[in-house]
Amino acid sequence: MTRLILIRHGETDWTLEKRYQGDTDIPLNAKGKHNIQNAARWISQMKIDFLYSSMLLRARMSSGIIGKAIRKKAVADKRINEICFGVWEGKTGDDLWKEKDRAFMRWSKGEWVTPTGGEKISDFRKRVSHFLKAVLKRHPGKTVAIISHGGAIKMMIMEALKLSYRSLWMMRVDPASVSALNFFPDFNQLALLNYVPSLAPIKKGKKGKEGWR
């Protein structure tokens, strides 16, 4: 079995303000650093073989904290950067409604549209899929931690489980959350989704294994 541990970066000021971040480089805020430290503490209970990170600042800051906890240096890969939202970046949904942005109105109804200057969802899917296949080929039977973004993590889950595009709207991936995918020879499995570790004691089952396994 190959296991992927998918971690979303910690909170930023734009996350807090519900602004579209996309590929804009925004740093973690104080809460974001704190929550990623909680995630790092939880993840350090596992044996992580390899660590990857998006190239965006908020992910790299998160990978620095987690990498220190698990004693691994992250390999940065732009294929797991967040999707680019073009002219929407830096704006909130309320801002776009006030502007009567037609593309955003369609997006809000669950349609896949490309904002002006943004990235096509098909291109986003292609690059994330290439990354996923490369990691699975390179690290069979290993546990790999990947620090990325809400959209990219949802896309990896969608690809692994062969779900429809519509499923991306049905998943929630919060800042500093942990999700996990298990890959077996004959099927893939979503083992964990959107778990946000806290400072509560970690419960272990027999032989020291985490309860969610």
* pLDDT at residue 207 tops 60: no
Residue 211 within a domain: no
With both helix axes pointing from N to C terminus, report the angle between 150-161 and 121-138 in degrees, rounded to the nearest 10.
70
> Tell me: the pLDDT tens digits for 70-93?
999 999 999 999 999 999 999 999
Choose one of 102, 118, 134: the last residue of a domain.
Answer: 118
Residues 25 and 98 both lie in one domain: no
Residues 25 and 108 both lie in one domain: no
What does the pLDDT average to over 124-142? Answer: 97
* pLDDT at residue 128 tops 70: yes
Residues 9 and 24 both lie in one domain: yes
Residues 30 and 126 both lie in one domain: yes
Choose one of 71, 98, 118: the last residue of a domain.
Answer: 118
pLDDT tier at 154 (50, 70, 90 boundaries)? very high
Residues 143 and 194 both lie in one domain: yes
Distance CA 3, CA 47 (A): 11
Percent of the chain beyond pLDDT 90? Answer: 86
Residues 79 and 91 both lie in one domain: no
Residues 90 and 77 both lie in one domain: no
pLDDT of residue 112: 87
Cα three-residue angle 125-51-158, rounded to 5 degrees: 25
Q: What does the H/E/C string look like for 27-39?
A: CECHHHHHHHHHH
Q: How many domains are contained in the chain?
A: 2
Distance CA 116, CA 141 (A): 42
CATH of the domain at 145: 3.40.50.1240
> Tell me: the pLDDT tens digits for 21-52?
999 999 999 999 999 999 999 999 999 999 99
Whole-structure pTM value: 0.91
Provide the domain limits for residue 55: 2-84+120-203
What does the pLDDT average to over 153-182? Answer: 94
* pLDDT at residue 203 tops 90: no
Residues 139 and 188 both lie in one domain: yes
Residues 107 and 6 both lie in one domain: no
Residue 77 within a domain: yes
- Contact call for residues 16 and 77 (beta carbons, < 8 A): no
Residue 112 within a domain: yes
Residues 171 and 91 both lie in one domain: no
Whole-number Cα distances in Å, 196 to 40, 152, 178: 11, 18, 6
Residue 213 within a domain: no
User: Between 41 and 212, where is the model more confident?
Assistant: 41
Q: Which residues form the catalytic set? A: 9, 82
Q: Which two tokens stand for residue 148?
A: 């990325």
Residue 51 within a domain: yes
pLDDT tier at 169 (50, 70, 90 boundaries)? confident
Mean pLDDT, the chain, as a whole number?
92
Whole-number Cα distances in Å, 148 to 76, 176, 193, 206: 10, 10, 14, 31
| DSSP β-bridge partners for residue 75 | 52
Residues 111 and 172 both lie in one domain: no
pLDDT tier at 65 (50, 70, 90 boundaries)? very high
pLDDT of residue 202: 47
Residues 97 and 178 both lie in one domain: no
What does the pLDDT average to over 181-205? Answer: 82
| DSSP β-bridge partners for residue 5 | 145, 180
